[in-house]
Structure 1
Amino acid sequence: MQEIAVIKCGGSIVDDLSDQFFHNIKTLQQNGVQPVIVHGGGPAIQKMLDTLEIDFSFIDGLRTTSEAAMDIVEMVLSGQINNLITRKLNQAGIQAAGFSGSDAHLIQCKPIDFATYGYVGEVTAVNARFLEKISSRGTVPVIAPIALSQDGERYNVNADTAAGAIAQAAGAGELVFVTDVPGIIENGALRQSTSESEIEALISEGVIDGGMIPKVKAALSCLSDSLQHVMIADANQVMGQDGFTGTRITKNEGATTDDSTVSNI
């Protein structure tokens, strides 16, 4: 069984992915690592919702999603961004196929709190067998974080959360949040590693600030007993022989995380 690396692309960098990013994906494959790409699309979704004057708000960092907004979320994620990334991969000579999390029961979910958030889901299961079949053929799956509930309803799932759940269920050796920065910078240099317990201190000291704070917290939320480290890296960097170079965030030794709500189907 090939080693899997789950690569999460934030919606804000999709338009800025350089030729180097696609070369990196090829390099992973040549090194025997099968990439699985999960993407977001927040800026494009917000732009379309504003254009169509569809109301939404953010509560605790989650976008409330009405039925009308869900139509837009699905259209932008599956119809626009997913197709864009898949097309660019294929143009770069990488065999890729785009999927919504609603395809083949790839991502299953339950509503987080329908009365508060509407169609916003929490991942309950991932069809890792389907991903394994796709990956075993040398095809890179590109996944939009739309999920289905048991009653067949569509839900919007946070892309960071979806990437973490997919990495856990697929037994990925690596989860990489590719972004527009190389990682955590301390005293002008890249900090190559840090731990769960050190993060709050780095935030309070101002080493981690601004837009890096939500990136780091998203990475922390993905750590579990089955996923012991997550990396934040520059999407367009030149990748070394050992893979992406960035800041690796590791789980505290002896800590436990209850991830029993996410199953491998």
Structure 2
Amino acid sequence: METKFTKGRLSEIQRETGIAVSEYWLNLLLGMNKHEVGVVKASGKLLEGEELAAIVRNYQTLDNKLGITLPLIIGGGPQYDELPSYRSSRKVNGIRVTYEQLLSEMVPVAQKNLENVVESLNCGGVEARAMPFGVLRIRPHGIEIDSKTGESIDTGYVGDVLYVDTAPIITSLHNSIIPVISHIGMDHDGQEYNVNATPAAAQVVKWLQAYKLMLLGDRAVEDNNGYTISEIKSEADLHQLITEGIIKDGMALNTQSAYELLKQIGPGRSVQITTPSDLLAELLTDGVGTIMRMPYIIQSYDQPEHLGENGKLELTDIFNSAFLERGLALVTDYWEESTLAEHPINRIYIEAQEWSGGMVVRQFDNMGYACKIATKPDYRGNGFATQAIERAVLDYGGLIWRTGLNENNPSIDFYDKAIHKFKNNGIANPGMVTDSFEANGYKVYVINAQRDKVDVLVGTAAKLPNTMQSV
């Protein structure tokens, strides 16, 4: 009998696991088709023992308790280590050169891996089915230029995904059967090709138009001290991590493939790198591993009148809808110059594509005062607020804001986590103060405040007139 995803079922899982699902993702899940949710890619290292058992346990929860059915793409890796031709083959730019003999040895192992994973899921009470190799339609990769030597290398039977035949995958998902997909694909003549599993999974996400790609391995992305890098914010950041040698070899290829995917499918989607035991958390939240997502397009305006009357009304609606649950709304003269006249508005940030969030920043000493930050309730958890704060810090050098100290204020937990994150991700400058303080009934947050001025800044911010009113 098919299990249907509901808020009630999710609440049960939240109570059991302590995983807190964002409203944004919850609302998406409630309105999605089965094939739009996400795709899981498991490294070949995870296809046996406790690692495979952990994947099965997560699928038991997702499929049997929540009614969420996710395609599973599997790699090869260690299962190929004993193949005679594999040991003598070479890699170029992370790609395994695959000549005819090696391919002939790999295909039976790939088929066995498929059957083993399907059997493990079925034995765990999760109905699964192996997809034919032909769901990945391939064109030859051809020549690869070695980045180290400049040599031109014929990669043999290495393929790139031309398109994904989504029909059998979607049929399986809508019948609540897990489609398990190999990294072996076929061209139109039935010739098999070796495809790197991560780019293959990225293509499945693209052709299904799914929201999440979860890459399961033995660890998330770590820095040189072994600490998890929680987020890779941009392609430039990724390039720097690769240049510094923090990300290398197969992980470099995987993360580059991930960003190519994100550039094609845009904001609102994510790629998350984690371990099998954390799969559930990665699907339902930003996770505990490494997340990559395309930045939102954030427009900035110097003056409220540049928004136009309709723009001001829409931004007012964003703020009022966000504060309604706390019984608050903007004061009627919020946009007038006389409101907080000593701290005039000098920057407004808007999520430009869907107008899902906005932030108003006022002049405040030598930094910005984020007078209002809000995301529409249905979009909470989409990453806009964090990105807007980071953008303002880049524009102003430092930022200060406050929120009311009361029990029904959900912003406090979010801002506390954000400040902790900013302390460790390069936004906070060494020697400057990035922290939170309590004053005059408010919790005041500062990023990059001068140490000798922080007490005055906090005290001033906490005493500013309130620009919200009860409704």
Residue 25 of structure 1: which of 54, 59, 62 is its match?
Answer: 59
Is 1:60 aligned with 2:60?
Answer: no
Map of 1:150 onto structure 2: 188
> Is the 8 Å Cα contact of residues 40 and 159 (structure 1) preserved in structure 2?
yes
* Equivalent-residue separation in structure 2 for 1:4 and 1:101 (angstroms): 23
User: Residues of 2 paired with 1:86 and 1:150: CA distance?
Assistant: 26
Coordinate RMSD, CA, aligned: 2.8
Write the deviation string for residues 215-265 of structure 1: whole angstroms up to 9, x where unpaired.
4334334333216421101112373382553211112556xxxxxxxxxxx
Q: Secondary structure at 2:240's aligned position in 1? A: helix
Q: Equivalent residue for 1:107?
A: 136
Contact kept, 8 Å, 1:183 with 1:234, in 2: the verdict is no
Q: Secondary structure at the match of 1:239?
A: helix
TM-score of the aligned structures, taking structure 1 as reference length: 0.81
For residue 60 of structure 1, report the CA deviation from its aligned partner. Answer: 2.6
Within a 5 Å distance, the mapping from 1:1-265 to structure 2 comes to 1-2=33-34, 3-16=36-49, 17-29=51-63, 30-50=65-85, 55-78=88-111, 80-102=112-134, 106-113=135-142, 116-184=154-222, 189-195=227-233, 196-204=235-243, 208=247, 212-226=251-265, 228-237=269-278, 239-240=280-281, 242=284, 244-253=287-296
Q: Deviations over 1:126-172 (max 9, x none)?
A: 11122110111110011112222122221111111110111110111
Identity of matched residues, % = 24
Deviation at 1:208, TM superposition (A): 4.3
1:76-117 CA distances to partner (integer Å, 9 max, x unpaired)? 111x21111111111111101112322xxx111111117811
Contact in 2 for aligned 1:21/1:237 (Cα 8 Å): no
1:260 is matched with which residue? none
Tell me if structure 2 keeps the 8 A contact 1:5–1:33. no
Q: Which runs of 5+ in 2 are unaligned?
A: 1-32, 144-152, 298-471
Q: Tell me, in whole angstroms, the C-alpha distance in 1 between the residues paired with 2:213 and 2:128.
A: 19
Evaluate the alpha carbon distance shift between residue 65 and residue 207 of structure 1 in structure 2; reply closer, same or farther with a 3 A threshold.
closer
> Number of matched residues?
248
Question: Can you list the C-alpha shifts for 1:162-210, whole angstroms capped at 9, x where unaligned?
Answer: 1011111011121011011144458665433222222233345565467
Query: How far apart, CA to CA, are the structure 1 residues paired with 2:264 and 2:68?
Result: 22
CA 145–100 in structure 1, closer or farther in 2 if over 3 Å, else same: farther
Higher share in helix: 2
Instruction: Map Cα deviations across residues 12-36 of structure 1 (whole Å, 9 max, x no partner).
Output: 2222415332221222233343210
TM-score, normalising length from structure 2? 0.48
Larger Rg: 2
The separation in 2 between residues aligned to 1:110 and 1:216, in whole angstroms, is 22
Unaligned ranges ≥5, structure 1: 255-265
Instruction: Give the residue type in structure 2 aligned to 1:96.
Output: A
Distance apart, 1:211 and its partner CA: 6.6
Distance 1:218 1:125, change over 3 A: closer
More deviation in 18-27 or 136-145? Answer: 18-27
Q: Is the 8 A contact 2:202 2:257 kept in 1?
A: no
Distance 1:8 1:41 in 2: 11
- Which one-letter code corresponds to 1:75 in the other structure? P
8 Å contact kept, 1:100–1:145:
no
Question: Any idea what SS the aligned residue of 2:71 has?
Answer: strand
User: RCO higher in 1 or 2 (8 Å CA, sep ≥ 6)?
Assistant: 1
Q: Residue 263 of structure 2 aligns to a residue in which SS?
A: coil
**Separation in structure 2 between the aligned mates of residue 119 and residue 238 of structure 1, nearest angstrom:** 32
SS of equivalent to 2:280: coil
Using the TM superposition, give the Cα deviation of residue 42 of structure 1 relative to its aligned residue in structure 2, in angstroms: 2.3
Indicate if the aligned counterparts of 1:4 and 1:170 stay in contact, CA closer than 8 A: no
Distance of aligned partners of 1:186 and 1:138 in 2 relative to their CA distance in 1, 3 Å threshold: farther
| Inter-partner Cα distance in structure 2 for 1:209 and 1:153 | 31
